[in-house]
Amino acid sequence: MLNASKASLDSTQRSQKVAWGVTVAGAIVVLLPLMIVAGVSFYDAGSTIGSPGHWTFGNYTQAWTQGRLGWAFLNSALVAITVTLLQALTSAMAAYSLARLKFRGRQGLLLLFLATLAIPLQLLVVPIFMVLKWGHLIDTYGALILPTAVNGFGIFLLRQYFSTIPIELEEAAMLDGADRWQVLWQVIFPLAKPAIVALCLFSFVGEWNDVIKPLVFTTRPELQTVQLALTNFQEQFTNDWPLLMAGVTIATIPIVVLFVAAQKQFVRGLATTGTKI
């Protein structure tokens, strides 16, 4: 029996070592490109990829001023935060209806929301453009916000999480006199914080990295976002890789900071969200 216990312990330790090895290898694969980008961003103007020469912080100052990233950052932050809040609100209300309210066609409506995930935004550019033109929203912030104010993935994600919350909590709140809105805001939302944080992270990252909407639906320079600024920056400084990598690094910093700050809630929200429809 002692030998069996020792063999089981050795097997567990080997499994843990293999798991750690796979995790470290995966981390290296993911982080290596980012490390290369950050390293190249410190090269001086006369350096090449294989010969770094002297390192300098001047690339960041030059990228910020020549790429006009300041105003682009404000635009991206405004659009990303607004869309994130709208997606969280619309997804929460639709998800609660699909998870708790009983009405005919509920499952069909959920499948319809899921079907929208199979349609890429690129295929909808023309009809969205026509709708925005009809509403006189081209070259406005509305063109950058409204097309993605509702998200089928967010509805599905929150619906799955709401389904895991015991309905007895809502019934107890209603016995105390709460209506549906009070139950949603005072009971469901606080309990669903991990899933809402996960949705907000997905939404913010998607909007921050979006280049299709600002490229197609706007032409005014004052509406330029970070990703569009980087696209123009790349065209302007194609051969200056250190300067371009500095711009990319600057644009990546908000996403990294946001994920580090909310990673616990993000992981918890994904781990506790079911997959049953």
Q: pLDDT tens digit string along 211-221? A: 899 989 988 88
Q: What is the pLDDT of residue 275?
A: 44
* Whole-number pLDDT of residue 277: 45
- The answer to whether 172 and 198 have CB atoms below 8 angstroms apart is no
Q: How far apart are the first and last CA of the chain?
A: 46
User: E-assigned strands of 93-248?
Assistant: none
Quote the pLDDT of residue 265: 66
Question: Is the pLDDT reported for residue 167 higher than 50?
Answer: yes
* CA gap 165, 155 in Å, rounded: 16
pLDDT at 131: 92
Closest CA to 83 of 132, 150, 159: 150
pLDDT for residue 238: 57
Q: Which residues pair with 151 in a beta bridge?
A: none
Cα–Cα dist 251/69, whole Å: 9
* Higher per-residue confidence, 276 vs 61: 61
Q: Which CATH architecture has domain 67-271?
A: Orthogonal Bundle (1.10)
Residue-wise pLDDT for 69-117, tens only, equals 888 999 999 999 999 999 999 999 888 888 888 888 888 888 888 888 8
- pLDDT, one tens digit per residue, over 36-47 is 877 777 877 655
pLDDT at 204: 93
pTM: 0.81
Question: What confidence category does residue 186 fall into, taking pLDDT thresholds of 50, 70 and 90?
Answer: confident
Q: Tell me the mean pLDDT in the region 221-239.
A: 76
Angle (nearest 5°) at CA 202 between 250 and 246: 10
- Cβ–Cβ < 8 Å for 199, 157: yes
